[in-house]
Amino acid sequence: MSETSSGVFICFEGIDGSGKTTHSRLITGYLRGLGFDAVYTTEPTRYSLPGRKLRESFFAPERLPVEEEFQLFLEDRKIHLKDEVIPQLKDGKTVITDRYYFSSVAYQGSRGLDWQFILDENLKVSIVPNLVLLLDLDVDEAVSRIASEREEGVNTFEKKENLQRVRDIYHKLADKFPDLFHVLNVNKPIQEVQEDIQDFIVNFLSTR
């Protein structure tokens, strides 16, 4: 899908436990403090029907069949784009999204769905972001962070072997799209990671 817009669209990706939500929220606040009109959004959404179905499925004992899961993420993404991302980009905002279609490639791909198919289906309905920040963390560290941070523990999306496959696909995506992806090692304290992100994004925005 092609869409003309004057804003900047930045997407955060990474395995569960990598700190995407923390860092994408922090950078949004930081950019606003610098005077950028920055907004935070997330997928799956909390308000669409497919988004709510997905969130309910996260703690179910059985995963949804992968094709159904993929379609729900795709439907939710269309709503997210139409209701939030595209209007705000048209208004000239810097839109920071916490997950986007690369999550479908990595996660539904890790369940055996052909990842070229996932990419192609998404590109029919999505706009390509200006930048993808991949927060990269080894799986053991990610799982121990999840276990220590959440009362409910590790969910079915977050089992170690799943996350390893997800991480491997993210690396392949970063290799395939080197102009789009920036990979950051996040195996260090939050403040240091956030400073790396601030430096990188401020520089990225100033060169546009």
CB closer to ligand TMP out of 183 and 205: 183
- H-only helix segments in 8-48: 20-33
Name which position in 93, 99, 165, 167 contacts ligand TMP (CB under 6 A).
99
Measure the CA–CA gap between 117 and 125, rounded to whole angstroms: 13
Chain position whose Cβ is nearest to ligand TMP: 107
Which of 134, 156, 171 has the alpha carbon at shortest distance from 24? 134
Answer yes or no: are the C-beta atoms of 38 and 31 closer than 8 Å: yes
Query: Which residues, numbered 15-34, are part of the site for ligand TMP (CB under 6 A)?
Result: 16
| Of 5, 11, 24, 43, the one binding ligand TMP by CB under 6 A | 43
Smallest distance, ligand TMP to C-beta of residue 162, A: 9
Q: How far is CA 196 from CA 1, 76, 180, in A?
A: 32, 31, 17
Residue nearer to ligand TMP on the CB measure, 43 or 84 = 43
Q: Is 84 in the site for ligand TMP (CB under 6 A)?
A: no
| Dihedral sign for Cα atoms in the order 168, 65, 22, 25 | positive
Residues near ligand TMP (CB under 6 A): 16, 43-44, 73, 99, 103-104, 107-108, 157
